[in-house]
């Protein structure tokens, strides 16, 4: 049986020094923003904030300087993400582009694609959506049916994507389409494309989530044209690329910090001398948080070393999303405060917001059951 491996180490001094710089910037940029707004975390979409962060050089921190990056370490990037999440910064307008679209282009894109898109992402001017899921293909992503058929100078696309977060607010999506049907080999014949979401033949329809807000969409392609030079990587190599992309998507601190604002507010709420039950509950949550952080940091170190920690990233996401889902329930039980949505105290509304959104934490980016399947395969158990 294989094993997974997490290495515990502290952060290098330059990463901790960078943390102070980021804190000063965020304090100034966010001011005394209410806890319920901070609780939106990387779901908060604010292009102006992203442009400010870009102006500091803090988007694409690890990317090559020739594309506008800073060539800094993955550990410094980790510190930046931690601080953005802990402060509840509205980082959603650049989050996907920085986390996965840019790294995908760095790995598989053409030089003209990199030159065209990466500097604009770095400046915080471009938002990307992820066009993977379809009405009949979520966990079983290889079963997608949206077709891209070769035409003069490119491809004509027909089909539907679903749950496409921020498609209505983004300029581009990186989408997975079927370019060939290979009988009995559904992982073959898939290709990735950079899609201009304003192109003719693309309709974006809102899907209202269970919290009543419009974050994701249905994206319908009806004879939409995608030029040849917008294909990412080789035709038919989409499956290998998309699984690499999912590894970027699953390994970060956003997979255990989604409820952090509620934990911070609870610590404020119980004060400096909490009762025994509050102290034990908060102590347990903080101990879990510290352990998860070490595991997640270990994944960042493996990425820095050029390794491919898919198994470890799946473990962090599975345990991390269970943790961030547990926080609202545990705090509700501890304090007996009612979760509220529109009226009520800031604390009640922060609790209400997270209660409503927590179910999605273990769905987005791959469900718990699917991750456990990946972990079992990585350990040689299936």
Ligand X SMILES: Cc1cc2nc3c(=O)[nH]c(=O)nc-3n(C[C@H](O)[C@H](O)[C@H](O)COP(=O)(O)OP(=O)(O)OC[C@H]3O[C@@H](n4cnc5c(N)ncnc54)[C@H](O)[C@@H]3O)c2cc1C
Residue 184: CB atoms within 10 Å: 5
Q: Does 369 bind ligand X (CB under 6 A)?
A: yes
CA–CA dist 382, 374 (Å, integer): 9
**∠ CA(151), CA(157), CA(158), 5° rounding?**
130
Closest distance to ligand X from the beta carbon of 46 (Å): 18
Question: DSSP secondary-structure letter at 98?
Answer: I
Of 20-28, 127-135, 228-236, 276-284, the window that binds ligand X (rule: CB under 6 A) is 127-135
**Which one, 171 or 367, has the nearer CB to ligand X?**
367
Half-sphere exposure (CA, 13 Å, Cβ side) for 55? 8
* Residue nearest ligand X by beta-carbon distance: 138
Of 21-29, 281-289, 319-327, 367-375, the window that binds ligand X (rule: CB under 6 A) is 367-375
Token pair of 35, please? Answer: 């806890």
Q: Cβ contacts of residue 309 below 8 Å, gap of 6+? A: 247, 251, 299, 302, 303
Q: Does 143 bind ligand X (CB under 6 A)?
A: no
Q: Which of 193, 244, 360, 374 binds ligand X (CB under 6 A)?
A: 360
Of 13-21, 163-171, 192-200, 274-282, the window that binds ligand X (rule: CB under 6 A) is 163-171
Closest distance to ligand X from the beta carbon of 13 (Å): 37
Residue 190: CB atoms within 10 Å: 24
**Which one, 214 or 268, has the nearer CB to ligand X?**
214
Q: Is residue 288 within 8 Å of residue 256, measured between CB atoms?
A: no
State the residue for tokens 């997608």: 144
Closest distance to ligand X from the beta carbon of 201 (Å): 19
**Strand bridging mode 172-178 / 128-131:** parallel
Q: Does 74 bind ligand X (CB under 6 A)?
A: no
**Residues 196 to 255 in contact with ligand X, rule: CB under 6 A:** 216
Write the binding mask 20 to 49 for ligand X: x where contact by CB under 6 A, - elsewhere: ------------------------------
Q: Does 130 bind ligand X (CB under 6 A)?
A: yes
Q: Which of 366, 374, 375, 378 binds ligand X (CB under 6 A)?
A: 366
Q: Which of 70, 113, 164, 296 binds ligand X (CB under 6 A)?
A: 164
Q: Which of 124, 17, 9 is nearest to 60 (CA)?
A: 124
Closest distance to ligand X from the beta carbon of 374 (Å): 10
**Which one, 62 or 146, has the nearer CB to ligand X?**
146
Q: Does 367 bind ligand X (CB under 6 A)?
A: yes
Closest distance to ligand X from the beta carbon of 359 (Å): 8
CA–CA dist 84, 42 (Å, integer): 8
Q: Does 373 bind ligand X (CB under 6 A)?
A: yes
**Environment class of 65 (CB within 10 Å of its CB; exposed 0-12, middle 13-18, buried 19+):** exposed
- For CA atoms 17, 21, 24, 29, the dihedral sign is negative
Provide the binding-site residues for ligand X, judged by CB under 6 A. 129-133, 138-139, 163-165, 216, 360, 363-364, 366-367, 369-370, 373
């Amino acid at each position: 049986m294989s094993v997974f491996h997490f290495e515990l180490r502290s952060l290098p001094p330059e990463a901790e020094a960078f943390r102070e710089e980021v804190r000063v910037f965020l304090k100034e940029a966010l001011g005394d923003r209410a806890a319920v707004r901070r609780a939106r975390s990387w779901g908060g979409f604010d292009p102006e904030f992203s442009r400010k962060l870009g102006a500091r050089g803090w988007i694409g921190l690890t990317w090559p300087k020739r594309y506008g990056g800073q060539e800094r370490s993955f550990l410094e990037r980790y510190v930046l993400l931690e601080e953005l999440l802990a402060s509840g910064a509205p980082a959603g307008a650049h989050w996907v582009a920085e986390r996965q679209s840019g790294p995908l282009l760095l790995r598989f894109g053409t030089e003209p694609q990199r030159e065209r898109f990466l500097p604009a992402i770095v400046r915080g001017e471009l938002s990307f959506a992820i066009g993977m899921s379809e009405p009949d293909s979520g966990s079983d992503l290889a079963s997608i049916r949206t077709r891209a058929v070769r035409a003069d100078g490119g491809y004509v696309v027909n089909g539907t994507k679903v749950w496409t977060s921020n498609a209505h607010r983004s300029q581009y999506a990186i989408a997975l389409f079927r370019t060939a049907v290979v009988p009995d080999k559904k992982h073959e014949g898939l290709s990735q494309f950079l899609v201009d979401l304003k192109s003719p033949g693309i309709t974006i329809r809102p899907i209202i989530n269970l919290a009543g807000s419009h974050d994701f969409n249905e994206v319908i392609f009806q004879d939409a044209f995608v030029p040849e030079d917008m294909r990412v990587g080789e035709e038919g190599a989409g499956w290998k690329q998309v699984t690499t992309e999912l590894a970027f998507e699953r390994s970060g601190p956003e997979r255990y910090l989604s409820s952090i604002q509620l934990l911070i507010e609870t610590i404020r709420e119980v004060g400096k001398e909490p009762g025994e039950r509050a102290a034990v509950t908060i102590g347990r949550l903080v101990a879990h948080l510290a352990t998860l952080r070490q595991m997640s940091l270990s994944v960042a170190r493996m990425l820095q070393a050029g390794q491919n920690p898919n198994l470890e990233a799946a473990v962090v996401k599975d345990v991390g999303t269970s943790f961030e889902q547990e926080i609202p329930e545990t705090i509700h039980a501890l304090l007996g405060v009612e979760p509220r949505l529109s009226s009520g105290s800031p604390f009640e509304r922060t609790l209400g917001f997270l209660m409503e959104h927590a179910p999605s934490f273990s769905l987005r980016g791959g469900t718990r059951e699917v991750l456990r399947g990946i972990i079992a395969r990585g350990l040689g158990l299936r």
